[in-house]
Every structure is written in C-alpha cells, then in structure tokens.
Structure 1
C-alpha cells in the first residue's frame, strides 16, 4: 500500500493530510508538498453521526453526563483490531481492577470465540461502574468532560480526535502506522504511556490497571495534552496554519 501510494504521490501537485504543523513540524519540513489541514472534524456541534461504521449507541453520552469530570476511562480499538478471548478477558478484568468508571466499545466481531456466559457474568459484575456498547460517537465522547483517558489502538484519526480534546492516552497499537503513532504520543508529545505485553505477548490485567492509574494520575501528561490541544485549536482557528492551508486547498481546487 505504501509503495503504491508513493507512486501516486509523484503525480500529485499536493497531498493533503489530517494533521497540523505543531504536531509534527519535522515531517512537514522534510515533505513541503504535504498540506496539513487538521485536526479535522466534520460537525463541531455533534448534530449528526460522522464517519460511523456501525449504529451509534446514544446512551453513551447520557451515561457520561452522570459521571464526575475526569473520571471515565474510555476504551476503543477502532474498526479493525481483533483480540483473542484470553486478551479480552485480561483487559476486562484490568478495567474492573481500576475501580474506575469505564466506557468500552466492543464491536460484535471484536473477539471471535469469546464465551457469552463469561461476558454476561462480567457485564453483571461491572454494571454499576462500566458501560459496554458496540459503537459510539467517538468525537462526542472524547469531547466530554467526564473522560479521563483514552485506551486506544492509536489509529491516526483516533489519535487526532484525542489530541484535539486534550485527552491523555494509554497506547495499545494493533498494526501498521499505529506503532509510529504510539511513538509520537509516548516519546515526542509525551501525552500518554504504552502497555507492555508479557513474555507470552499478553497485556495482563495487572498491567492494564497499573498503566491506567499512571496515565490518569500524571499531572504532567495531562498538562502536555492540554498544551497540544491548544496548539491544535490555534492551527484550525482563523489565521492558523491549518486554516490557511485549507484555503490553499480550496483555491487549488477552484483553479
């Protein structure tokens, strides 16, 4: 895919991307023909679903409204990641161990072979604390004041959505560019931490609990996340680099 994309890039007058200059200035210095116009959001007032793969469960927002500010662990792995039953159970029990309210997005195809009996028992145990749904309005969730951190696969769109809202990350990449995105979050922006699998390649429940607590309890991570949020909003605001770049794109298309 990358090779094919590079060949097409040679034909392009300009490439447009969902990023912003302050997020990765080194990359845009290396590639001046890439035009960052992000972080993109199609509907700032959340009047309609945007980019949904599945029907959104609207109960999420009402549930978040009942939670304290900065208390909820939001867990979502995008539209493609797959967990085996053991890893699913470790994650579930790790969230339970935190004792924190959590909102977990579990697609119908997220864990083939998972015991329905086990999932039902777990759901009953955490009914007063956790909410599990198959899909949600992620942009709306991440903008909610109740969200404390984002346990994420680090897909780029999800990363930008988290950055735009100043949400700290617990990184759990699945494949492809998500590992690079994790490096931005943990090493460059320093707005989150990453899970560490054990010798068997499993992220244990103890690791989940420990890393969630470290992310939520780290004031410096939160401060850096808010500074990056401010930088993102400056870029998309009137006169900002992304705003000006978007005008360039419109002018180019109108020529």
Structure 2
C-alpha cells in the first residue's frame, strides 16, 4: 500500500467571518494535497452560496474539499439570532453527529488517514471530541492576536475586580496587557460592545472557551502575523501565526458567501480614475436606524468622490431600505450601490482610494494586504481594538467620532473622508504596511514558515 492521503476535518463556528477564515485555510491545505471535510451546522450550510457548485457535497467532483453538514437541532422557524438558544441547541445535538461523521470517515477509505481536527478557539468542543477519539486537534483563532490575548487575560481581570464572574464591568477604565500593547477601555472589551444581554453572555462564554481550548489543542493557529502584532504574540505561549490568510488562487477560487456577490461593480470600477473611489462596506452584522442611514448616505454624497457602497437587504431596521429623497438620482453618475461585493477583488482594484469599514478583522487584513487606507467606524466585538491598531499603532487610517446623541453626522463623514484622501503620510504608511504583511506570507516569511511546519506535521 502507498502513502496514505492525509485528511483533516474542519469545523467552523456558525458565523460568516469564522466560516470564511477557515474556508481560506482549507483551500491552502488542499493546495498541499490534504483532503478536507468542511463541516457546518445545517442552518449555516443552507445559507452558503457556493459558485460554481455542481452538487450539494462539494465544489466539484474531484475537489479536495468536501462540504458536509450535521444536524444542529434547530427548527426552520427558530430565530437563528437567538445566540443562547443556538448555542444550547448546537451543544446538545452536534457533538454526537460529528462523532458519527468522523467514525464514518475513518472507516470508509483505507487510502486516507484522518490526521487532525481543526476548529475555532471559541468553538472548542470538537477539540474535546478529538482528544476523546485519539485524534490531534488544532485550535484556530480567526481574529487578531490582541483579541485572543484579552480573552486569555479574563482570569486576571477577575482577580483585579475589573469584571465579575459573568464578565460584567465593575470598573470602567483603560487597561494595557503589556507596555507595548495598545490600551483599550474595559467598556470596549469584546463582550461589552453590545447592549444585548444574551449576546454579551454568549460572547463572554466564547472568550472563556479560549482558555479551555489552548489547554487541549496540539496547535494554536492565528490568522495574524508576528510583524503586525508582536506585542500580543509574545503574550500567548505556542501561538503560530499563519496570516494574513489568503488563498494562493484567491482571484479564481469559488465563492463561498452568505450573500450573492454582485460582480458588476468591478466593471464600474474599471471606469473610475486611479485611487479615486471610496469603498464602503460594514460586514454582515451592522444594522443602522433610518436616521443614521440617512446621515451616512448624505455624507457619501457630499464628499463628491466616487463611491462603491455595499448595502445589504437587511442593513437598516426597517423592512425596506429607504434612501434620502432624490439621493439615488443625485449620485447616479458617481455612486454605485450593491447588496454584496467580491471584496478581495474590489480592494485590489487600482481605482480604490480608501476603505470605509467597521474594522472587522477579516476586512482589516483584506485592506492591509492591498495597501488601502481606512476610515474606521467600529460598532462591536473586537472592532474597537482594530480601530486602535489602524489609527494609533499602524497609522493607516482615521476614525469617525459620533456626536452627543451617538450619531455620526454627514459633516463628520465628509470631513474625515476629505482629510483621509489627502493625507500623504497615511497613504505612505499603508503601502509600507502592505509590504510587511506581504513579506510574512511570501516564501521565507514567518507566517509562510509557520504554515509550512503545520502542514508537514499534519501530513505525518
């Protein structure tokens, strides 16, 4: 018998950014001849848009990546945004089904060797299952090392009486994990960046899971680079940075999204001058009230610069997105609105001048690797820490400031965009940071070498 084909099972947390990060990692593993079974909960699997996809099980018949799903216990009418119910249902139902799937994989092909289970740090129970089944486990952190360091710091925050046992604030103050790491307000800790109590509890429990995951995993992988966050990486024992994650064939790899991409925007970008377009996109979780939506729309209009704006169907709190009176007609010659965009290709386009963003980690890395400056509008989770990186550490962007009513005004948007587009220092810093990020993932770079070592070890 010849050498067995290495096979890994990948289990993402049920969220678009987590799915996308682990999907990119899976493509990179497949490029090295490793078979991947990508396992989603049923409700996530049903939302994915994979193009092209001739069959339900994979992108193509000879693909190295096989997409499967396991029951999650949710009924069609259940509210998928009820994070507490979602978490309880998944923990009750998914482990048994995943164990059966893994046993089936082990028994079904004598020419393959199941060598590793890879899962999110916050979705740590598959690592427990891996340990039980005698399979090596890799914990993957899709966000920045700084956010992971904060999660691992929870026991010390409790000891210092900054938070209680449930993560609720006792003291509101600035904290620094080390002299070199950017400071952050305790009110901006990832679980405190929402007023939804159920969401707060779920995020805090996920952060606590990080402390459990690093104790049982063989590998701790992070979608970051040592050169981007040296101060954070040195706080986390045995971390292996393998980012910024990008597939070797990202320009042509099949899409795997929750929303259908509108590629007509690429043709529109082709008609715009070099470094002239403001790209505006806030991920899949930000929701605006009608007042704030109007201010955003009018702020973009008043800049008089061409802009590409991603407006999801559920972007506002109304049933139908309502633009200011006459807005669509007035911006017809210099604005393009789509429901979802192929972000990598957009940010790589020479007409893009800046990225107006919520500062999600995936979006941050996308722009960093393309040398694009940022206008920052963080909203929740780890986005405030990323804003600190962008504006205060890397110095590649500016941040918006809300007024006394919590609204970011049209004038604030226009003023900051005009300033950003003419800030030569920020533009130069963005290009320098792109070189740093690119170097680490190219041959000989730290992330390149870390990923190569991981591949070698799981192929054994």
Identify whether the pair has TM-score above 0.5, normalized to the shorter chain: yes
Determine helix, strand or coil for the equivalent of 1:225. Answer: helix
Determine helix, strand or coil for the equivalent of 2:326. Answer: helix
Q: Does 1:158 align with 2:363?
A: yes
Within-5 A mapping of 1:117-156: 118=323, 121-156=326-361
Q: Is the 8 A contact 1:159 1:181 kept in 2?
A: yes
Determine helix, strand or coil for the equivalent of 2:257. Answer: coil
The CA distance in 1 between the partners of 2:251 and 2:261, in whole Å, is 13
Aligned-pair distance for 1:17?
Answer: 1.4
Aligned-pair distance for 1:99?
Answer: 0.2
Aligned-pair distance for 1:5?
Answer: 2.3
Aligned-pair distance for 1:28?
Answer: 1.2
Report what 1:22 is aligned to: 227
Within-5 A mapping of 1:180-195: 180-195=385-400
Match of 2:406 among 182, 190, 201: 201
Q: Does 1:36 align with 2:230?
A: no
User: Which structure has greater helix proportion?
Assistant: 1
Within-5 A mapping of 1:58-97: 58-97=263-302
Greater RCO structure (CA 8 Å; 6+ sep): 1
Determine helix, strand or coil for the equivalent of 1:8. Answer: helix
TM-score normalised over the length of structure 1? 0.96
Report what 2:374 is aligned to: 169
Cα shift readout 1:110-149 (whole Å, capped 9, x = no counterpart): 1122765645731121010100100010000000110000
Q: Is the 8 A contact 2:297 2:324 kept in 1?
A: no
Q: CA RMSD in A?
A: 1.5
Give the structure with higher Rg (CA). Answer: 2
Determine helix, strand or coil for the equivalent of 2:246. Answer: coil
Within-5 A mapping of 1:237-252: 237-252=442-457
Moved over 6 A (4+): none
Q: Is the 8 A contact 1:76 1:153 kept in 2?
A: yes
Match of 1:236 among 402, 419, 441: 441
CA gap 1:44/1:207 in 2 versus in 1, 3 angstroms: farther
Determine helix, strand or coil for the equivalent of 1:203. Answer: coil
Q: Which runs of 5+ in 1 are unaligned?
A: none
Cα shift readout 1:77-110 (whole Å, capped 9, x = no counterpart): 0011111111110010000000000000000001
The CA distance in 1 between the partners of 2:284 and 2:226, in whole Å, is 27
The CA distance in 1 between the partners of 2:208 and 2:390, in whole Å, is 26
Determine helix, strand or coil for the equivalent of 2:452. Answer: helix
The CA distance in 1 between the partners of 2:237 and 2:347, in whole Å, is 31
Cα shift readout 1:189-223 (whole Å, capped 9, x = no counterpart): 01001000000000000000001111111000011
The CA distance in 2 between the partners of 1:30 and 1:140, in whole Å, is 34
Aligned residues: 255
Q: Is the 8 A contact 1:105 1:136 kept in 2?
A: yes
Of the structure 1 ranges 179-188 and 108-117, higher mean CA displacement relative to structure 2 is found in 108-117
TM-score normalised over the length of structure 2? 0.54
Aligned-pair distance for 1:41?
Answer: 1.5
Determine helix, strand or coil for the equivalent of 2:234. Answer: helix
User: Which structure has greater strand proportion?
Assistant: 2
The CA distance in 1 between the partners of 2:322 and 2:362, in whole Å, is 34
Cα shift readout 1:141-168 (whole Å, capped 9, x = no counterpart): 0001100000000000000000000000
The CA distance in 1 between the partners of 2:327 and 2:250, in whole Å, is 35
Of the structure 1 ranges 51-60 and 171-180, higher mean CA displacement relative to structure 2 is found in 51-60
Aligned-pair distance for 1:44?
Answer: 4.0
CA gap 1:136/1:117 in 2 versus in 1, 3 angstroms: closer
The CA distance in 2 between the partners of 1:121 and 1:246, in whole Å, is 52
The CA distance in 2 between the partners of 1:120 and 1:239, in whole Å, is 55
